[in-house]
Each structure stands twice: as structure tokens, then as C-alpha cells.
A and B are shown apart, each in its own frame.
Chain A
Amino acid sequence: MPYPMVGEERLEAVRLREKFGEALLKVKEFAGETYLCVDRTKLIEIVTYLKDDPELDYKYFVECLGVDYSRWEFERDLPERFEVVYNLMSLKYHSRIFLKVGVDDGQKVPSLTPLYVGADYPEREVQDLYGIIFDGNGPRPRERFLLPDDWIGYPLRKEYPLGGEDVLFDGNQYGPAVEDVQMPHAGESFEGKTGSGDVSGR
């Protein structure tokens, strides 16, 4: 079944503009997919509408993911540093829609777990790797999802170095990184140095 369209636009975009007006910030079409940039504070209402409206019927939560745009040099969809992209699917028309919300460091995105139980794991993954806090699905103190509990920092942020993990050797007695245990990754960039003597020969 073809996706429902209103003229040149997807039905979802038209409906959201009618119902929420300003909260729909931008509609982008790229490579055959539709991206709807929406206001972070209205996210719950918008997703509830998409899910419950019998004509849209976005019942299947596919995933959500984060993107760090701090080193992006081109035109942006949203002004904030991070984007959380929600991928929802309607099994009525087998149509897919991407919702984007922007969020800066320290701001919170409302959690979708009350609407979709399955949002729990992807949200915690984004939280673990980007440090984006989901309101309502917050981590308990010192709790990580994919990373060890004592890990410091958020590895998928662009400033986080690749291969900069300090390796501890026997019993904290000796080894390249023992002096750095208290302050791992203290502002040092390992970019381009991985595997060379510069990393371990400090």
C-alpha cells in the first residue's frame, strides 16, 4: 500500500502541522526518507498522537539513536549540539517516519518508555554513550549500560579520543597508566597516536 500523501507532502507532516503548529520545526526529505524535526518539550504529545491516531497508527517502535553534531560543518536541521533520532513504523501502510529532537549538554529529553516499553534499552544506550539524559528513564547513580560502571566519559562524543583508554596492569603496582587512574583521559587526545609509543610511553 502506498504511503498516504497530501499533495507533495506526507500525511504525518500535514497532520502534525495542523495539530501542533509551531512544534513542528522542520520537515526534511532525504534519500527517500522523511525526517520531522520537532520540539523536544512536545515530544510525548506528538508521539502519543502518532501512535493513537487510527489513520497514522505508529505502533511499532523501531529504535532511537543519538548523533553528536559538534564537528558538523554543514547546514543543520536543529541548532542544538545533539540530535536524538526516533525511528517509528506504521504497520498499516508499512511507512517509516523519523522524528528528530535537538538537545544540548545538560538538557533533558522526555523518555518514551511510558508509550513504548521497548524504548528502554535504546534510550539507555544513547544515555551511556552520549550522556544525553532521558527524563523518566534516568540512570541510578554510577550505573552504566554498555560500559563498565566505573567508566568515565561518553565515548561517542566527538571530542572523546579513540584508543585513549588507560590500561591498568597488575595490582596497581606498575604499568603505563597507574599515575592516571584518578583522572583518566584528562584532556589528552590520542588521535592518530593509537598503537605508537606515544600512548603507552608516558
Chain B
Amino acid sequence: MPSTETVFERTGENTMIVNMGPQHPSTHGVLRVVCELEGETIVNCKCVIGYLHTGMEKEAEYQQYNKCVVMTDRMDYLNANGNNLAHALAVEKLLGCEIPKRGQYLRVILAELSRLASHLVWLATHGLDLGAMTPYFYLMQQREYILDLFEMFSGVRMMPSWIVPGGLRGDMPDGFEARLRGFLDAFLPELDLVENMLVSNPIWKERTVDVGALTAAQALNLGASGPIARASGVNFDLRKSNPYSSYEDFDFAVPTGSHGDVYDRFLVRNAEMRESVKIIKQAIDGLPSGPWRTTDRKIVPPPREELDSSMESLIHHFKLFTEGFHPPVGEAYAAVEGSKGELGFYIVSDGSNRPYRWHERPSSLLNLKCLEVMAKGRLIADVVAIIGSIDIVLGEIDR
């Protein structure tokens, strides 16, 4: 990795170049930011990334489609179900496969719970960066309950890999619905509690209002999406504009801000959490019965009981787990509204059981570019607030 002095040319005469990270608690992972300072003001700022690069896109070209699923969780590990969903939608687009309504609704529930968990970690750590310690404990506790729900659903807390091409790995377990409803009822008062601690707190506002402002045109030009673009006033949410997985069935609002500063992003994400709760409630209320995955035996395995009686099912089972499925030759792109922004997968298939090219559109990578723009002219202390408000996950940036 480049040494601090060589990252960029010094522009001023009396400036100082300061390195921050990659091992720094406020950079949310292994992000390294090199700043050129004049006094305490940032003249120039550049991000150095790649410390977590593991070559997942290369690895995927050697794996069957179903085995690529587990890599998607490990990209944006805070919003694992959202990544699974985007990948599943892209592969299903290639396969031309339809998922039954129940499967789509369950996917929505999992994805929205993931969004909640991701936003909770964001607010908790963002607060901690700015000196607000109390919200951390309240929010992490709530996130823990969500992870418990994931564990009940899939057996895994953080990386469920439960949304796979063709549907889900399994149906909703007994008792899940009651537990989910219990969580949702208790969650909103807790969120109110934390929000009331911060929303009119003078110290919080001092650190966030008018810090790192971005206009709508700037945000689009930078390729920013998700809460960052929405806080700047761009009314764009893929769940509304290009609905996938039955999002058109649910009634929810798209919260937008007006100033595009750190405080607006805080408000937008908080409002988004409330909308997510609304969506989950509608999905669980209207959850249809019936199959929860496609019946195409070439894509999903047959039910266990069929294996004992049907030779054909046994062959399908064997072929699926040894060889996988073969999507037709072509390419497909599917995007979802992840917790950080537009999260898409671009997959090129050459008709074999492995992807020819497997690419994720990393929302955090494009959002990170905003830091270089927003930090210019601000104080060094604001960088911490701005990084927190972008909500980056380095696993997704470096892949």
C-alpha cells in the first residue's frame, strides 16, 4: 500500500499530511484516509482502500451458482439478506424463474429485518464516534433480537445465506411469527427512546447540522444512492421505482431530506427504520400460504419425503448438489435497495454451471467517493462524523 507521503501531491506550502487508519476505530473497518491539513482544515483528502480485498469476483468464476451465495453475505456483512436477495434475483433473471408469492413475502421480511439490523449498527457506531455512548447499548440490544430471529429462521445469526436462487432454503419455522410480532411491538418505543436522546440534543446537532452537505445534483453525479441521495432530496428508492419481490404490494413512504448534511442522513435513516417496520408488519399480516420456492426441480432440491419414493427426485437431488444448474447463455443485472443504497449483481453466463463473470455493484464503494468531496474545507473532527454518516462496510468496498 502506498506510503502516506506518496498518496497525493502536497498543494499548499504550510500544510501537513496526516494519515488516519486503516486501524482506527472511527473508520468503521480498514479504511485509510489521508488528509492534507492547513491548521485543522482539510484541503485535500483521499481514501486508500484494498486492505480487505479477497478476490471474491475471481473466486466466484470457479464456483457453482449455489456456492456463490455464501460469498454474498460476506460482502456487506451487516445487510447479508439484502445481498442474498440481489444475487438470487440476478440468477433468477438469467434462469427466467418465478418465485411464489409466499417466498417473495418471506424474502421481504428477511431483507427488511436486515435493513433494520444494519441501520441499528450504523446509528450505534455513528453515535459512539461522536461521543454518544448510551444509544450504542440500546441499539445493539435491539440488533441482538433481530439476529436471534435470523438464528431461529436459518440457524445462523449474521450470514444466513437463506435466500437462494429459486426461493429460500426453508420455510418460516413454527413460532417465528409470534416472536417477530413481539419484537416489532417492542422495537418502536426503544427507537423513540434513542431518537429522543439525539434528535434535539444540542451537542449532537452541533456536530452534525450543516456538516458534509451534498446537493441532489452532486449526489447523483457521484453515483451515490440510498439514504445519502435521499437525504440530499433525491426521491429515488428502487423498492418504489422499480419494484422487485412484491414490494409493490406494500404501502410505505420514501423519506427524503432537504439539506443533505449528516443530520439529515440521521433523520432519513431513522424514518426508514419506521417504514421498514411498517413493511414487515404488512408482509407478515398478508403472508400467503402455499409454496415458498419454485417447483422447478432443476433449480431447487425436491422435498425430503419424495427422495424415499421417487427415483427421479433422487436423480434431481444428486444432479443439483453435484453439478448445480445451467442458466442459459447471456447476461443479467438485478438491483435491490440495500441498506446502503443500490445493490446490484451483474452476472454473465456461458451456459455452464459456473458464472463466467460475477460482479457486485458495491453501494459503499460509490458512496465512499462522496467523502473526498464532502470533507474538503471541513475540520478534521468532521471527517469522523462524515464517515459515520456514509455508513460504509469495507467488506463490500474491497470484496
Contact = CB atoms under 8 A, between A and B. Distances in A.
A74 B50 CA distance: 34
B384 interface: no
Task: Determine which residue in B57, B333, B346 has the highest number of CB atoms from chain A within 10 A of its CB, and name it.
Answer: B333
B24 interface: no
A59 B346 contact: no
Contacts of B356: 67, 72
A145 B365 CA distance: 12
B53 A85 contact: no
Interface of B: 1-2, 49-50, 53, 55, 57-59, 61-62, 93-94, 96, 217, 220-225, 234, 236, 241-242, 329-333, 335, 342, 344, 346, 348, 350-351, 356-357, 359, 361, 365-366, 368-369, 373, 398-399
A147 B58 contact: no
Contact of A87 (B59, B333, B348): B333
B58 A94 contact: no
B59 A162 contact: yes
Given A68-B357, A160-B58, A162-B62, 8 more contacts: A32-B93, A59-B221, A62-B335, A63-B344, A94-B236, A117-B221, A121-B369, A162-B58
Nearest to B342: A62
A125 B62 CA distance: 21
7 contacts: A60-B225, A62-B342, A85-B346, A91-B241, A94-B236, A116-B221, A121-B366
Given A117-B373, A162-B59, A147 B50 contact: yes
Contacts of B236: 60, 91, 94
A147 B53 contact: yes
Contacts of A87: 333, 344, 346, 361
Interface string A109-141: 000000011111110010001000000000000
Contacts of A146: 49-50, 53, 398-399
B350 A121 contact: no
Contacts of B366: 63, 118, 121-122
A59 B49 CA distance: 27
B363 to A, nearest CB: 10
Interface stretch (A16-24, A38-46, A148-156, A169-177): A148-156
Given A118-B224, A144-B50, A30 B2 contact: no
Given A146-B49, A156-B57, A31 B330 contact: yes
A119 B333 contact: no
A69 to B, nearest CB: 8
B282 to A, nearest CB: 23
Interface string A76-111: 000000000101000100101010000000000000
A63 B57 contact: no
Given A30-B330, A73-B350, A74-B350, A63 B361 contact: yes
A180 interface: no
Contact of B365 (A116, A122, A144, A149): A122
Interface in A7-52: 30-33, 35
A148 B361 contact: no
A174 B357 CA distance: 37
A65 interface: yes
A68 B58 CA distance: 12
A186 B359 CA distance: 27
A59 B369 contact: no
B91 to A, nearest CB: 11
A57 B174 CA distance: 49
A159 interface: no
Nearest to B346: A65
Contacts of B2: 143, 149
Given A31-B94, A147-B53, A62 B361 contact: yes
Contacts of A65: 346, 359, 361
B250 to A, nearest CB: 18
Contacts of B342: 62
A117 B50 contact: no
Interface string A154-166: 0110001010000
Given A61-B221, A118-B366, A94 B373 contact: no
Contacts of A60: 220, 223, 225, 236
Given A62-B361, A87-B361, A118 B222 contact: yes
Contacts of A143: 2
Nearest to B242: A94
Contact of A72 (B241, B350, B368): B350
A31 B221 contact: no
Contacts of A129: 57
Contact of A155 (B58, B329, B373): B58
A116 B217 CA distance: 11
B60 to A, nearest CB: 11
Given A65-B359, A74-B350, A155-B58, A31 B93 contact: yes
A132 B154 CA distance: 42
